Amino acid sequence: MRILFLGDVVGRSGRDAVAAQLPELRRRLAVDLAVVNGENMAHGVGMMPDMVDGLYKAGADVVTSGNHVWDRKEVIPYMEGEPRLLRPINYPPGTPGRGLAEVVLDDGRRAVVVNAMARLFMDPLDDPFATVRRALKRYPLGGAADAVLIDFHGEASAEKMAFGHFFDGEVSVVVGTHTHVPTADVTVLPKGTAYQTDSGMCGDYDSIIGMAKDEPMHRFVRKMSGGRLEPAAGPATVCGLFVETDDRTGLALRAEPVRVGGRLSQTLPACVI
């Protein structure tokens, strides 16, 4: 299975870039499953239903989120009726929405996507290690699931690395989100799980993690707010991870970074068609 994951979409610049690039990436890389983290689409914080629909129209099969998932209240009733839009699975029981999605491909193969959130320097949610392991008991890799991808949304690289190694050999992909900066550690772990500490954002990198530079700099220098944070509006780089898995085992055969457009150095996996 060929899987494409795109990191946090930030503001209009990120939305426009994904809408422009995702259809061609799906075609060029013969993608079977496309997952996009959309939690920063609405002016840098949260998501609106029409924006989520825009990702589906562009070719996303599942949309994940993170700590900003509730920043736009309009998304809550939408999420209740939309099984392809995920919030972190380790929110307490009774929280709206769901943290796991099943996707059945046209050829009958089954993919499972899980959204989880780390706890170090983040909200004190339920244990993501135990919560995800319990959820995946129903979806053994190579059995009920032909591929399993986990979007692990977190701040600390050590916690993300621990999570990747904890699930090595049990899932196809563990990819980090939240810090908005693509890491250079794309790899296949020893037991066969593709891993990247952070996929990076889909946004304008002439910015401070997607926001126009003046206000964040003011806050760091003066230690006080000078106004609202505004998303940077320049050309966005679409950042993500491409993984090809073995249909027999569900484990990763290769993992490569994706960076298209904008300011960052460009890289694409070798074309498969």
Burial group, residue 194, by CB count within 10 angstroms (0-12, 13-18, 19+): buried
pLDDT of residue 157: 98
pLDDT in tens, 63-87: 999 999 999 999 999 999 999 999 9
Query: Reduced to 3 states, what is the DSSP secondary structure of residue 132?
Result: helix
Identify whether 187 is part of a domain: yes
Average pLDDT along the chain: 96
Mean pLDDT of 108-131: 97
User: Whole domain around residue 53: which residue ranges?
Assistant: 2-207+235-260
User: Does residue 125 lie in a domain region?
Assistant: yes
Q: What are phi and psi of 181, to 5 degrees?
A: -125, 120
Decide if 268 is inside a domain: no
Q: Is the pLDDT of residue 171 over 60?
A: yes
How many residues would you count in the chain? 273
Burial pattern 92-108, b for ≥16 Cβ within 10 A else e, equals eeebebbbbbebeeeee
Domain assignment present for residue 149? The answer is: yes
**Does residue 20 lie within any of the structural domains?**
yes
The structural domain count of the chain equals 1
Is the pLDDT at 272 greater than 70? The verdict is: no
Triad 204, 213, 38: Cα angle to 5°: 40
Taking the alpha carbons of 55, 184, 33, 78 in that order, is the dihedral positive or negative?
negative
pLDDT digits (tens, 9 = 90+) for 172-222: 999 999 999 999 999 999 999 999 999 999 999 999 999 999 999 999 999
pLDDT of residue 273: 47
pLDDT digits (tens, 9 = 90+) for 2-51: 999 999 999 999 999 999 999 999 999 999 999 999 999 999 999 999 99
Residue 151: closest CA among 225, 210, 90: 90
In a domain, 220, yes or no: no
In 3-state terms, what secondary structure has residue 93?
A: coil
State residue 271's pLDDT score: 67
The enclosing domain of 241 has a CATH number of 3.60.21.10
Residue 195: Cβ within 10 Å count:
28
User: Within a domain: residue 244?
Assistant: yes
| CA 70 vs CA 40, 75, 148, 240: distances in Å | 11, 7, 25, 24
Task: Inform me whether the pLDDT recorded for 139 exceeds 90.
Answer: yes
The percent of residues in the chain predicted with pLDDT above 90, rounded, is 96
How far apart CA 14 and CA 20 sit, in angstroms, is 10
Task: List pLDDT tens digits, range 228-267.
Answer: 889 999 999 999 999 999 999 999 999 999 999 999 999 9
Contacts of 93 (CB under 8 A, 6+ apart): none
User: What is the DSSP track for 6-18?
Assistant: E--BBHHHHHHHH
Nearest-angstrom CA–CA distance, 196 and 106: 28
Q: Coil, strand or helix: which one is 101?
A: strand
| Residue 26 placed within a domain | yes
Q: Which residues are catalytic?
A: 68
Read off the pLDDT of each residue in 122-135 and give the average, rounded to a whole number: 96
